[in-house]
Amino acid sequence: MKKFLQPKLLVTLCAAIVACTLNLAAHAAPAPIRIGMIDGLSGPFANAGEAVVRNISYAIDRVNARGGVSLPDGKHPLQLSTFDNKLGVEDSLVQFRQLTDQGISFLIEGNSSAVAAALVDAVNKHNQREPDKRVLFLNYSAVDPALTNEKCSFWHFRFDASADMRMQALTEAIKADDKTKRVYIIGQDYSFGRQVAKAAREQLTSKRPDIAIVGDELHPIGKIKDFAPYIAKMKSAGADAVITGNWGNDLTLLVKAAKDAGFKAKFYTFYANSLGAPAAIADAGVGVVRAVAEWHPNAGGTPNSPSDAFYQEYRKRYPQAKDDYMYLRMHVMIEMLAAAIEKAKSADPRAVAYALEGAHYQSAFHSATMRAADHQLIQPLYLMQMQRADSGGIRFDNEGSGYGFRTERFIPAEQTVLPTSCKMQRPAR
C-alpha cells in the first residue's frame, strides 16, 4: 500500500519550505541599478557607438569590482542596457519609450546634440506625466551650448565641455600666440557648425580685436570630396590659422588638401584626436593640427604617472589597436553617478539629481565639479598638438596609427567657466 504523509507532518513540511523560500529571498543579491544607453550602434557611425559601449562597460566594471553601489539594503551592481537609435531623432524617441517600459531610471546619450535636445524634451514630459517612474539623463558628448542654457533641465546633466567651452580653450591659445594675425573660420553647414562659427567670431573679437577674420564660411556636410578650392581661398586671404568644428572625412580631407597645397597655417579643431582621425590625417597634421579635450593619453607628462597607469589599465582590457579610444569623461560620469546614488541613499532620479548638483570628482590626475546652476561639468581642458609617435615627443599613439598628441596648453577648470542663461525649474525635494 502507498504511504501518505500525515496532515500534521505535511503542514510542518510546507511551513519549512515557505520559511526557506523567504529566507533565500531575504538574502538574494540586491537588484542591479540599470543604465540605458541610447545611441548609434549600427550604420556608418556604429564604431563611435561601440567605443562608447567599451568605455561605459569598463567604467561600470570598475564600480562593480568594488562591490557595486552601497545603499541601505546592500550593494547593488550597475548594469548597462543598450538601445540602437541609428543616430536618428525619431528612432531615439522610440528607443526611449522602450527604455521607460523596462523601468530604467538612468539614460545616457551623447553622439548627437539633435538627439540630446529631443531626449531632454521627452524626459521632461515623461517625468511630469509619470512622477513615480522618473528618468535622469546623463549626457557624455552632446555639446550644443543650448542644452545648459535656454534648454537646460533639472533632469539633464552634461559631462563634456560645451562647444563654447571648447572654443574658449582654442581662442585662449590663439590669444597667446602673437604670430596669429589672420584667421579663417570654416565649418559644416548644420546647427553645430553654425554654433562653432558664431562662438569663434564672438570670442576672437573679444579677446584679440587686432586679429582679422579673413574668411567665415560653411560647406555641405559630408559632400565635399575636394577641399582644394577652399584651401586656395584661405591662401589667397593670407590666413595663418584656421578654426574648424569639422569632423570625419570633412576634417581629414580639409587638412590633407592643405598639405597638398603647401598651406602652412595652424589648424585649431574640436575633433582631430577623435576615433580614426589621426590615422586618416597622418603626416598632413603633424605639427600643424591641434585639438581640444578633457584628457588625452599623453596628458600624464611623465612615464609611470597616475594618468599613464589609468590608460594602460584600460589598454589591458582592450588590447586591440582598433579598440584604443578612451573617453575620460565617461568614466568620470559613471563614478559621479555611483557617488551620487550613495550620497542620496537611493536610486530615485530626483534624489540622485540633487546629490549630483555641486558634486565634486577627484582622482590622482583629474578633478571636476558639477555646476548646480545649469548641470554643466566644469573640468580642465587640454590643447594638444599632433605628433608622430617616432618623434620622441609622445609615449602613446592613437589606435596604433603611429600618430598621437602632446600637450601644448593646459587650461585649468576655472578658466573654462562661461556664464549660463539657464533658468532651471526644480521639483520639490
3-state DSSP call for residue 135?
coil
- Write out the H or E segment, with its range, that includes residue 89: helix 89-101
Q: Rounded to the nearest 10 degrees, how much is the dihedral formed by the CA atoms of 218, 175, 171, 159?
A: 180
The confidence score (pLDDT) of residue 263 equals 96
Q: Is the dihedral of CA 313, 300, 385, 382 positive or negative?
A: positive
Long-range contacts of 214-218 (CB under 8 A, 24+ apart): 214/182, 214/183, 214/184, 214/238, 214/239, 215/184, 215/185, 215/186, 215/239, 216/184, 216/185, 216/186, 217/185, 217/186, 217/187, 218/186, 218/187, 218/188, 218/189, 218/193, 218/194
Nearest C-alpha neighbor of 258 from the set 280, 238, 282, 234? 234
The confidence score (pLDDT) of residue 149 equals 97
pTM: 0.90
The confidence score (pLDDT) of residue 26 equals 45
3-state DSSP call for residue 60?
helix
Neighbours of 15 (CB within 10 A): 10
* pLDDT (tens digit per residue) in 364-407: 999 999 999 999 999 999 999 999 999 988 999 999 999 999 99
pLDDT tens, N- to C-terminus, the chain (429 residues): 445 556 565 556 555 555 554 454 445 679 999 999 999 999 888 889 999 999 999 999 999 999 999 999 999 999 999 999 998 999 999 999 999 999 999 999 999 999 999 999 999 999 999 999 999 999 999 999 999 999 999 999 999 999 999 999 999 999 999 999 999 999 999 888 999 999 999 999 999 999 999 999 999 988 999 999 999 999 999 999 999 999 888 999 999 999 999 999 999 999 999 988 999 999 999 999 999 999 999 999 888 899 999 999 999 999 999 899 999 999 999 999 999 999 999 999 999 999 999 999 999 999 999 999 999 999 999 999 999 999 988 999 999 999 999 999 999 999 999 999 999 999 998
Residue 346 has phi, psi (to 5 degrees) of -165, 150
From CA 421, how far away is CA 23, in angstroms rounded? Answer: 54
267: β partners: 242, 289
The confidence score (pLDDT) of residue 379 equals 98
The confidence score (pLDDT) of residue 11 equals 53
